[in-house]
Amino acid sequence: MAANPFSLDGRVALVTGGNSGFGRAIAMAFRDAGAKVVVGARRADRNAEVVAALGADASAFELDVADEASVERTIAGIVQRYGRLDILVNNAGTVSRQSVMDLDLAVWDRVMNVNLTGAFLCTKHAARVMKTQGSGKIINISSVYGLIAPSKGLQVPYTVSKHGLIGLTKVNAVELAPLGIQVNAIAPGYHYTEMTEELRGSSLEAAAKRRIPSGRLGEADDLVGTCLWLASRASDSVIGVCVPVDGGYMASDGLDRG
């Protein structure tokens, strides 16, 4: 093992949804750990902005994770530029908050395609490259709602897709481990990101703080330590797990006993 088992020197990492929120924080942390970082996301303007911040070794692709042709082009482009792909973070995601009784099939399909099918497609094509190398790391960003359900339901396709992502993690971990590829997941709890900015000052924020033993919601940077560990050699024997990063949310029964 390297003198610093957490170093990513010489590694090439693709972070989907890497131009904002968790993805941007992860991309920056990977850069700081020595990796060459590729951002895969749909908005070209945001991609350009984050690549400028990441530096000369970084690049970006206009990636639609739900479109297999787009995924294939991105993976091929990474290999063409860097010669390899060592780390994949399946972070791209979206959410919908509706009753199951009002949910349109098109909305269900959109959320499932981005959150779950997208991770499958990126894993499929990245793993082919990693197999030829004999090594690789795949990290799926799930959610605590991949382990439980929201108290009043409503986030139907999001919850189902994040549960499915943990199943995808386990089945792929078992298949790919003999090839030297470790697949794991992270389940973030409540964090402030662009997707959750409306929480600030809300009654839900107050309820979440009461539920979370640490008494606070996380920031995007709170996720990067766990992601760096799972991306590095330090986790070579960690296979098929889902690590909650949630301030203790999943450790507590959540009852307000006064």
> Which residue among the candidates 158, 190, 192, 249 is catalytic per the annotation?
158
Q: Which residue from 45, 49, 39, 48 is spatially nearest to 74, judged by alpha carbons? A: 39
Question: Is 82 designated active site?
Answer: no
**What pairs with residue 256 in β-bridges?**
none
Per-residue CA distances from 107 to 157, 168, 177 (Å)? 8, 21, 34
Q: Is 101 exposed, middle or buried (0-12, 13-18, 19+ CB in 10 A)?
A: exposed
Backbone angles phi, psi at 195, to 5 degrees: -70, -20
* Rg of the Cα atoms in the chain: 18
Q: Which residues contact 66 (CB under 8 A, 6 or more apart)?
A: 113, 114, 117, 118, 121
Which residues are part of the catalytic machinery? 158
